[in-house]
């Protein structure tokens, strides 16, 4: 399992490691990136990718992180790569059409198949993912 991190600060690395328990169970690969070129490489290398565009100061983003963690604890998401993308820089998220956070985009074979903006329940998010993955 490979964890990508473009974050230099200890706090950012700590936030990425908070979800280590899910990684240890082997259900998903967790990736933290902050450059759009790195995300494009991940999309090319992995057939099923879900990207959570967030910012550190966004309260709804903080609400969605544990929701995503619970959804991805389900073994049916094995083989899906979950990417937490720091959307603080508008130039980095512009190629993906992100205008608000949190935005969750599901990519299948490099193509966007689902976009969700805002918060929702664990069940609602899992149902959305089930329809496209």
Q: Please check whether residue 3 lies inside any domain of the structure.
A: no
Q: Is residue 5 part of a domain?
A: no
Tell me if 104 is assigned to some domain: yes
* Of the candidate ranges 64-68, 83-87, 113-117, the one whose mean pLDDT is the lowest: 83-87
Highest mean pLDDT among 27-31, 32-36, 57-61, 67-71: 57-61
Mean pLDDT score, 34-40: 77
Say which CATH number the domain at 53 has: 3.40.30.10
Residue 98: pLDDT band (50, 70, 90) is very high
Which domain covers residue 16, as residue numbers?
10-132
Number of domains in the chain: 1
Q: CA dist 1 to 16, 28, 43, 83, 124, Å?
A: 14, 9, 16, 14, 28
Higher pLDDT, 69 or 8: 69
Question: CB count, 10 Å around CB of 104?
Answer: 23
Q: Is 77 inside a domain boundary?
A: yes
Q: Is residue 74 part of a domain?
A: yes
Say what the pLDDT of residue 15 is.
Answer: 46
The answer to pTM > 0.85 is: no
In a domain? residue 19? yes
Instruction: Establish if 2 belongs to a structural domain.
Output: no
pLDDT of the residue at 114: 97
Rounded distance, CA 60 to CA 30, Å?
20
User: What is residue 122's predicted lDDT score, i.e. its pLDDT?
Assistant: 95
Residue 128 banded pLDDT, cuts 50, 70, 90: very high
In a domain, 94, yes or no: yes
């Amino acid at each position: 399992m490979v964890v990508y991190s473009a974050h230099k600060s200890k706090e950012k690395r700590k936030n990425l490691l908070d979800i280590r328990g899910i990684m240890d169970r082997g259900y998903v690969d967790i990736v933290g990136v902050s450059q759009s070129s790195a995300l494009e490489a991940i999309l090319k290398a992995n057939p099923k990718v879900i990207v959570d565009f967030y910012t550190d100061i966004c309260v709804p983003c903080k609400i969605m992180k544990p929701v995503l963690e619970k959804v991805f604890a389900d073994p049916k998401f094995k083989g899906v790569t979950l990417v937490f993308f720091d959307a603080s820089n508008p130039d980095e998220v512009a190629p993906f059409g992100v205008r608000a956070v949190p935005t969750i985009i599901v990519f299948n074979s490099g193509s966007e198949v689902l976009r969700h903006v805002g918060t929702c329940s664990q069940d609602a998010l899992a149902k959305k993912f089930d329809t496209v993955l």
